[in-house]
Amino acid sequence: MSQTGPHHNEAVQNEASVQEAIGLAPKLIYEVIRREGEEEMARPERSLIWSGIAAGVLISLSVLGEAIFRTYLPDQPSSYLIENLGYSLGFLAVILGRMQLFTENTITTVLPVMQAKSWRVFGKMMRLWGIVLAANVVGAFAVAALIVFTPAFPDAIMGAVVDLSHHATGMGTSQSFWRGIPAGVIVALIVWMLPQAEGSKFLVITGFTWLIAAGDFTHIVAGSVEMAVLIWMGDLSAATAIFGFFLPVLSGNIIGGTVIFALMAWSQVRDEIEDN
């Protein structure tokens, strides 16, 4: 006997509502991100380069946003928490604009490698990492040149940019490395949460990137803008920039996003994936 009456239709609708309320299972989130990683690794080099340069340029909005808040907020302890909201602006532009940001790729492209366990896929991942990181840095240096060599920004804001840049790059090798690990974990967490955050992507990105700034953690691409500002100004030598800031932060972000978060993500779905 067919069950196509109003009660059956209501039951179907209720089940759909329950499934929607439950959200995506970890296995499905993993699959969404893994497929996204495969698509990214298959993109032409030219597309990756220009997308990466755009991300390097627009991530400067994080530095500028924070500098603007620092310049005009009253000098009191609570201003620090508000000031760091400006840091979210660049990440909102880059992530919602679907541009290539290196730290996002530390999870999206690693998941296909973990599943395939293939040197060929690993090579594709390393190719993408190299292209995107280089493009991000080129974009960061380009926008830093605009900041330093043109009157595009008022002196007051420039002063705040320089202060932020000295702070970001002046932590020392060990501190830069260790503070890069939480930032890598947080960016990977954002990537993991976005597939089921359809109506709240803005809040997810804003909240967690604010945490990076408020926690005084280090991010390789946003930090590259600050590093480039000081290099263009002559306040930071290339050797100090590379070995005292860039490589330690890069290592910390990779460990946080790949070794810690991606392994945790893989571990919770590994048995389900391998059983299929």
The secondary structure of the chain, three-state, reads CCCCCHHHHHHHHHHHHHHHHHCCCHHHHHHHHHHHHHHHHCCCHHHHHHHHHHHHHHCHHHHHHHHHHHHHCCCCCCHHHHHHHHHHHHHHHHHHCCCCCHHHHHHHCHHHHHHHCCHHHHHHHHHHHHHHHHHHHHHHHHHHHHHHHCCCCCHHHHHHHHHHHHHHHCCCHHHHHHHHHHHHHHHHHHHHHHHHCCCCHHHHHHHHHHHHHHCCCCCHHHHHHHHHHHHHHCCCCHHHHHHHHHHHHHHHHHHHHHHHHHHHHHHHHHHHHHCC
Write the pLDDT tens digit of every residue in 189-229: 898 888 887 789 999 999 999 999 999 999 999 999 999 99
Residues 37-63 pLDDT 10s: 888 888 899 999 999 999 999 999 999
Q: Which band of pLDDT confidence, cut at 50, 70 and 90, is reported for residue 104?
A: confident
Question: Which pLDDT score, from 0 to 100, does residue 4 have?
Answer: 56
Residue 252 lies in a domain: yes
User: Domain containing 82: what range?
Assistant: 24-270
In a domain, 214, yes or no: yes
CATH number at residue 193: 1.20.1080.10
Please check whether residue 70 lies inside any domain of the structure: yes
pTM > 0.75: yes
Which whole number is the average pLDDT over 120-133? 92
- Residue 8 domain flag: no
**Is 14 a domain residue?**
no
Q: Is residue 239 part of a domain?
A: yes
Question: Domain tally for the chain?
Answer: 1
Residue 11 lies in a domain: no
Flag whether 30 is in a domain. yes
